[in-house]
Structure 1
Amino acid sequence: MNSEAPNPREPVSGGAMDKVVERRGLSNKVKAGIAAGALGLAAIGFYAYAPSGNSQTVAADRVTISTVQRGTFDDFLPLRARVTPLLTIYLDSVEGGRIEEKLVEDGATVQKGQLLAVLSNPELQLSVLARQTDVSRELNSMRSQELALAQTRLADERGMYEAKAALDKAERQHAREAALAARGFIARKQFDDTTADLEYQRGRYAVQQRTRSTDERLQTSQLAQLRQSAASMNSSLDVARLNLESLKLRAPVSGQLSGFEIMVGQSVNRGERIGQIDSPGANKLIAGVDEFYLGRVQVGQKAVIDQGGKTYQLKVTKIYPQVRNGQFEVDLQFQGGEPQGLQRGQTLQAKLTLGDPTPAMLIPNGSFYNDTGGAWVFVVTPDGGKAVKRNVRLGRRNADFIEVLDGLQPGEKVLTSPYTGFADKDRLDLQQK
């Protein structure tokens, strides 16, 4: 059997002796398990260290932390008040017209009754003249009626005298003839005529008395009506003249004139306000008060201001319950003297006393109250690392402190700075530097 022998000159390759060696590594299942474990650890770390939806991290040096403490609560309310004249009289044009003269400038001090300006109103002047003519005509007519009534009264009196005289004469004649007739010296017919005349005069006198009584009653009533009508017409004429006089604008009181900016030639309407007079040297304060205190402010409560190194006492004299922009207004009147040199519109700081000082648990007043309404606060944990939301019950407030009624203990710390940006969170993580 022939076999082919290798050629000793050819190089030996060794190919027949090499084997592929497989490297051992991690299987795909193992790799998947490792990846899943890493993700789990990352998730655990994230949930452990990342803030939750109801928490937020806040730098500790950006918030104000205050301590709950026991003390005395001074129940007062700081007010910012403006100076206003105690008495202000407004000047309104009673009748419209054209400004003919302006005798006083704005800001001047005027005296009661001083002439300030003169207006003209031709229509009003003609109306007053016509009214005066009508009244004069009516008064003349009434005087004529009074004269007629007086003449009637005189005629009645004259008739009474004549009737009485005739009656007396008839009685005397009858008395003389009665004695003669009894002795037969006078004819019977003549005596009967004398008797008939006496009866006639008696009846005539009685009728005249009734006539005079009736006329007197009617005349008295009619005269009273005429005099009442005359007085009413004279009053009407006085009013018309007064309206005409109102074209001369005078100061109703003494004081400082302000807002008097009319010009000569200017036309003003009836009832138009053309200025005001402020009482000199007598002022009051008007202060705005938060609507929260509407039920606690009463007329008669005391207030004080410090001005020029002195303390001045005031009293609440009027409360305006209308609320505008979250505030209502009160009038404060000085009790005794008032500071010198006060100017209208000047602002002063006042303290209104709402109640007597009482022991209480207190926290410093802060802007947090505007965000929570006093219903809850953030309370700092003992380690100082967190602040947790807690419901509380707060009471009275002044410029410095808020009264704590329930929910906090002395020594606890709370956040009193604004809660803007995290008022909806339940927990704050306080990050220390």
Structure 2
Amino acid sequence: MDIPIEKKRFDSRKIAYIAGGILLIALITYVVIATSGGAKLNVQTERISISTVQRGAFQENIPVNGVVLPITTIYLDALEGGRVEEKFVEDGAMMQQGEPILRLSNTDLELSLVNQETQVYNLLTQMQISQNAARQNTINRLNQYTDVENSLIEARRLYELNKRLYEKDAIGRQELIIAENDYKYQKERMELAEEILRQDSLSVSQEERQIANSYARTQNALELMRRKVADLVVRAPIDGQLTSLDAEIGQSKVKGERLGQIDVLSGFKVRADIDEHYISRIYTGQRGSFSFNGERHVLEIKKVYTQVTNGRFQVDMEFAGEAPEGIRRGQSLQIRLALSEEKEALLIPKGGFFQKTGGNWIFKVSEGGGTAYRTDITLGSQNTEYYEVLSGLQPGDRVVTSSYDNYGDIQELVLED
């Protein structure tokens, strides 16, 4: 019995023809794309931004945000802890140096002052008693010295008299010896009395110095305690405006706690936050500018705080001239901070194209203005308005500076009116 053979749908020859056809179509497509300059996209010129490359003055700067602060701020801390008993002024008051702001009470501190004063008065009383005793002792020793001196004078007189009488054989030798011995004895007593007086004088002087030093130390301690008690009345350290006062009647404040601050309103400064990326390029003396009420004002960096917090650090800036009229504490300013000196450079305005290209290429408009094609470029520094062009463009070239987010891998734009 014959077995029917199923006829194949595609033989090897047909498969070869089909494959060859596909390859031919692919080749034609590639040639068309290659010769046509890549993928194109029609865009309306009114929907894009076209800028002209130009040469001009360029200065690298960065935008920073600043806050207006008083030129000087003095913080008020509780020098001694206590309970708020009385408030003399309210927050926002204008203060003169030395004026009271509030009063604290601290019974332990006040009791210590009373004890210290009592100790000083007791010491003063002891000093007076010691001085009186020393004076009396000195008087007694002087009286003794006078008696000894009188005895010496009498002994010398008798000795000299007996000596003359003995020479005339009016008295015997025994009497002369007795007078001579008494004279020598009185002389030794006199020398001893003089030494006692000298030692007494030294002792009194030393004791007086010790008592005086002890009294001075105790008096200093008392004065310190009085100042500590006086610190319970918080006073304005300088002329200025009282702000941020945090104290209510009955509150307890610990030593060192912040009570408020005094702002000196004789001038202003600006504290600005800057990205840590620029910390190595920021130094005192650098200048920035801002616009206020239609006028341009210049600021100069006076202090750089190198501590970085949340990726940012701070600088204090002061006005190069007079502060603009009408500026207020707490006001925010948009500042252009210069990072370089002004120079001549090739410039293109900043735009959204940079986010897509990273500044490596840009769509350059043809001379006829009908198309824009990709052109490799190199950008340098930037400021708030312009990019510096290092290569790839010439003055007068026109480029598309708006966003490229919708262009994908498009190689050429067809510009339509």
- Residues 114/266 of structure 1: CA separation in 2 closer, same or farther (3 Å cut): same
C-alpha distance in 1 between matches for 2:64 and 2:20: 66
Secondary structure of 1:276's partner?
A: strand
- RMSD of aligned Cα (Å): 3.7
Tell me which amino acid in the other structure corresponds to 1:129.
Answer: V
Find 1:40's aligned residue among 15, 18, 23: 23
Q: Deviations over 1:384-430 (max 9, x none)?
A: 6543566x4624x33223445x54453467775667799xx9x6524
Normalised to the residue count of structure 1, the TM-score between the two structures is 0.76
- Counterpart in 2 of 1:15? none
Find 2:330's aligned residue among 318, 324, 345: 345
Determine whether 1:95 maps to 2:80. Answer: yes
C-alpha distance in 2 between matches for 1:270 and 1:357: 53
Q: Deviations over 1:215-250 (max 9, x none)?
A: 333433333222212111111122222222222222
- Counterpart in 2 of 1:23? none
C-alpha distance in 2 between matches for 1:224 and 1:370: 84
Secondary structure of 1:344's partner?
A: coil
Q: What is the Cα deviation at residue 381 of structure 1? A: 6.0
C-alpha distance in 2 between matches for 1:66 and 1:260: 55
- Counterpart in 1 of 2:343? 358
Secondary structure of 2:329's partner?
A: coil
Tell me which amino acid in the other structure corresponds to 1:290.
Answer: D
8 Å contact kept, 2:285–2:302: yes
8 Å contact kept, 1:80–1:347: yes
Map 1:125-144; keep pairs closer than 5 Å.
125-144=110-129
Find 1:387's aligned residue among 364, 368, 374: 374
Secondary structure of 1:281's partner?
A: strand
Secondary structure of 1:105's partner?
A: coil
Q: Which runs of 5+ in 1 are unaligned?
A: 1-25
- Counterpart in 1 of 2:262? 277
8 Å contact kept, 2:272–2:315: yes
- Counterpart in 2 of 1:14? none
- Counterpart in 2 of 1:410? 394
C-alpha distance in 1 between matches for 2:109 and 2:41: 78
Determine whether 1:182 maps to 2:167. Answer: yes
Larger mean CA deviation between 178-187 and 57-66 belongs to 57-66
- Counterpart in 2 of 1:10? none
Q: Deviations over 1:260-293 (max 9, x none)?
A: 1422222222221121111123221112233343
- Counterpart in 1 of 2:6? none
- Residues 174/350 of structure 1: CA separation in 2 closer, same or farther (3 Å cut): farther
Larger mean CA deviation between 30-39 and 339-348 belongs to 30-39
Find 2:239's aligned residue among 236, 244, 254: 254
8 Å contact kept, 1:388–1:428: no
- Counterpart in 2 of 1:192? 177
- Counterpart in 1 of 2:219? 234
Work out the number of aligned pairs and report it: 397
Map 1:32-431; keep pairs closer than 5 Å.
32-44=15-27, 68-308=53-293, 312-366=297-351, 377-380=360-363, 385-387=372-374, 392=378, 394-395=380-381, 397-404=382-389, 406-411=390-395, 429-431=411-413
Q: What is the Cα deviation at residue 318 of structure 1? A: 0.7
8 Å contact kept, 1:68–1:408: no
Tell me which amino acid in the other structure corresponds to 2:361.
Answer: F
- Residues 379/230 of structure 1: CA separation in 2 closer, same or farther (3 Å cut): same
Q: What is the Cα deviation at residue 153 of structure 1? A: 3.7
C-alpha distance in 2 between matches for 1:420 and 1:147: 102
Tell me which amino acid in the other structure corresponds to 1:120.
Answer: S
C-alpha distance in 2 between matches for 1:430 and 1:304: 41
Secondary structure of 2:118's partner?
A: helix
Tell me which amino acid in the other structure corresponds to 1:176.
Answer: L
Larger mean CA deviation between 164-173 and 235-244 belongs to 164-173
8 Å contact kept, 1:67–1:363: yes
8 Å contact kept, 2:275–2:313: yes
Q: Deviations over 1:89-130 (max 9, x none)?
A: 112222222222222111111222222222222233223323
- Residues 268/27 of structure 1: CA separation in 2 closer, same or farther (3 Å cut): closer
